[in-house]
Structure 1
């Protein structure tokens, strides 16, 4: 298990046919060798599992990656009103170039791509994807 820094960037959508690097999330998560969230490590240090949301013309948001009865979510305040759920993250690995679907609080689903992934506190170098 290694704690990792992960950058998710908006993938292709109707409004952004080329995607958008300026609409992104920065995550800090423990991952197993196969790219799955290490739930044991996250439970041991839940305050380290963080998310930062960067969106043009909106204030940045900081919160936590949390496990809910419906799966994983990004949560910025106590309660579920602001949670952004992550589709099938419990069975989908976080690997460079992989796609992940987030559901915003208003119900809109958006695709994101793992644009970079690097180990924290280790000697590993950052990997970036140009896909």
Structure 2
């Protein structure tokens, strides 16, 4: 089972404090299907290797894990608490291909759009 490395960078978010910013985003390690969607079966077998790294120029990078509860996927930075979880709108429905967009609700509850800029085998 192979994993992919996915890089998402902040896209323009009109009406928010953020314009597009290539220095702010996420790097994911996750299993993908042939059409670029998250693979739930492969995830079950590789859960411990599935990770997320949040990066921004004004803060230290934060490491976490890609997690799933039922059909809902999210980024979890502390297993002991759900207060830091970042839900991702319909993450399981997204195709992780360069040029697509993903909305992540940040730790402050603000939904922000990110553009997928890189997908490669991990």
Contact preservation (8 Å) 2:52, 2:64: yes
Select which of 79, 82, 92 maps to 1:80.
82
- State how 1:1-131 maps to structure 2 within 5 Å: 2-14=2-14, 15-17=17-19, 19-69=20-70, 71-78=72-79, 79-120=81-122
TM-score where L is the length of structure 1? 0.84
Question: Quick one: structure 1 residues 94 and 118, their matched pair in 2 at CA, closer, same or farther if it must change by over 3 Å?
Answer: same
Contact preservation (8 Å) 2:71, 2:92: no
Q: Flag structure 2 segments of 5+ consecutive residues without an equivalent.
A: none
TM-score where L is the length of structure 2? 0.90
Bigger RCO of structures 1 and 2 (CA < 8 A, at least 6 apart): 2
**Distance (Å, rounded) in 2 between the aligned partners of 1:30 and 1:63:** 16
**Distance (Å, rounded) in 2 between the aligned partners of 1:111 and 1:40:** 27
1:129: which partner in 2? Answer: none
Question: Quick one: structure 1 residues 50 and 100, their matched pair in 2 at CA, closer, same or farther if it must change by over 3 Å?
Answer: same
1:123: which partner in 2? Answer: none
Q: Flag structure 1 segments of 5+ consecutive residues without an equivalent.
A: 121-131
Stretches of 4+ aligned residues off by more than 2 angstroms? 14-17
